[in-house]
Amino acid sequence: MDATDSAYVCRRCGQGLSRRDGELACPNCGVTVPIADGIPRFPVPAAVDNAAHETFFDRLAPVYETPVWFQPLYRFVGGATAPRDDRSTIASMLALEAEFATEPAAEGDTEAPSVLDVACGTGRITRRVARDAASVLGVDISGGMLERARRYAVREGLGNVAFARMSADELWIDDGAFDRVACCWALHLFPDVDAALAELRRVLRPGGRLVGTTIVDEYVLGAAPVRAVARLTVGAEPFDVDSFRDRLREAGFSHLEFDRRGAALFFRARAE
Ligand SMILES: C[S@@+](CC[C@H](N)C(=O)[O-])C[C@H]1O[C@@H](n2cnc3c(N)ncnc32)[C@H](O)[C@@H]1O
Ligand SMILES: [Zn+2]
């Protein structure tokens, strides 16, 4: 059993799932979710399952954390003023422990928080956050990314981390199950952003925080040819900052804080 098993619920009937040999099962309606290589594989919507970028990320997984991918792309998108290490920035924005807190603790913040890392990829952020969180569940649609994520976490001996295949817009997770949600470098990839934001809000407890990064149509991504490359390679659609703010509010978030560096937008919001 993983530390985060109690967060899973059946999307058909709302019951908690229980783990038995090689699968998670709903004791009420009989839905089963296979577990392969230690990773539960929840059903994902057809539009997501067929998306070209899933295969892209499967293939990218082996090089994603090597010097050829994330860092150069981050520098290109974020420019010279972006934080050197986005993982530390995200960990600090999540306010996981008192010395990192940038605002008074919310009611109920008595112990280390539980964190859901949506679109966790190879677990770059998941592993960093696990140092200070009670537990972290990383979810992603790409099996290739998740298999790497699990391997890296095992190699680092992290016992409070689990991974599952799930789509951001159809989380098999209970309402209010997490104190924090992270969603980094991914919202611009989702086919249904508003459905995903509504899900991120739903799985946060009231007063819980959403922290993340995405890309906006400024700086290098202000140029139409660069946006076209982003769209054609990974299906990325950079946001307009103002409409992104409106969409967060629409999904039930308040206390919005934005920090734009180049075309990279760091954001934090509170679940109403
Ligand atoms: C650029 S990577 C970011 C990974 C990680 N958050 C990080 O900061 O390194 C984007 C990830 O989003 C995932 N993704 C794309 N669409 C998704 C969806 N609908 N639900 C969950 N994950 C998705 C991809 O598989 C990929 O692993
Ligand atoms: Zn059920």
Residue 16 CA to ligand 2 center (angstroms) comes to: 8
Residue 173 CA to ligand 2 center (angstroms) comes to: 12
> Residues near 260 by Cβ (< 8 Å), separated by ≥ 6?
216, 218, 241, 266
Residue 6 CA to ligand 2 center (angstroms) comes to: 14
Which pLDDT score is estimated for 210? 98
Which pLDDT score is estimated for 2? 81
Which pLDDT score is estimated for 97? 74
How confident is the chain (272 residues) per 10-residue block, as mean pLDDT? 89 96 95 97 86 82 97 97 98 76 51 95 98 96 97 97 97 98 97 97 97 98 97 93 98 98 98 95
Question: Whose C-alpha lies nearest to ligand 1, atom 14?
Answer: 119
Strand order through the sheet with 23-25 = 18-20, 23-25, 32-36, 39-40
- Hey, what's the torsion of the CAs at 133, 104, 252, 202, to 10 degrees? 30
Residue 222 CA to ligand 2 center (angstroms) comes to: 46
CATH topology for 43-271 is Rossmann fold (3.40.50)
Alpha carbon of 14 to those of 8, 198, 202, 260: distances in Å? 9, 17, 13, 38
Residue 238 CA to ligand 2 center (angstroms) comes to: 37
Question: Whose C-alpha lies nearest to ligand 1, atom 1?
Answer: 185
- Rounded to the nearest angstrom, the gap between the alpha carbon of residue 206 and the centroid of all alpha carbons in its chain is 18
Amino acid symbol at 124 = R
Closest ligand to Cα 18: 2
Which pLDDT score is estimated for 100? 39
Which residue from 54, 140, 210 has its CB within 8 A of the most atoms of ligand 1, so it is best to mutate? 140
- The separation between the first and the last C-alpha atoms of the chain, rounded to the nearest angstrom, is 31
Closest ligand to Cα 51: 1
Q: Which residues line ligand 1 (CB under 6 A)?
A: 48, 57, 119-121, 124-125, 140-142, 145, 167-169, 184-186, 189-190
Closest ligand to Cα 10: 2
How far apart are the C-alpha atoms of 235 and 243, rounded to whole Å?
Answer: 19
Radius of gyration of the chain (CA): 18
Which pLDDT score is estimated for 4? 83
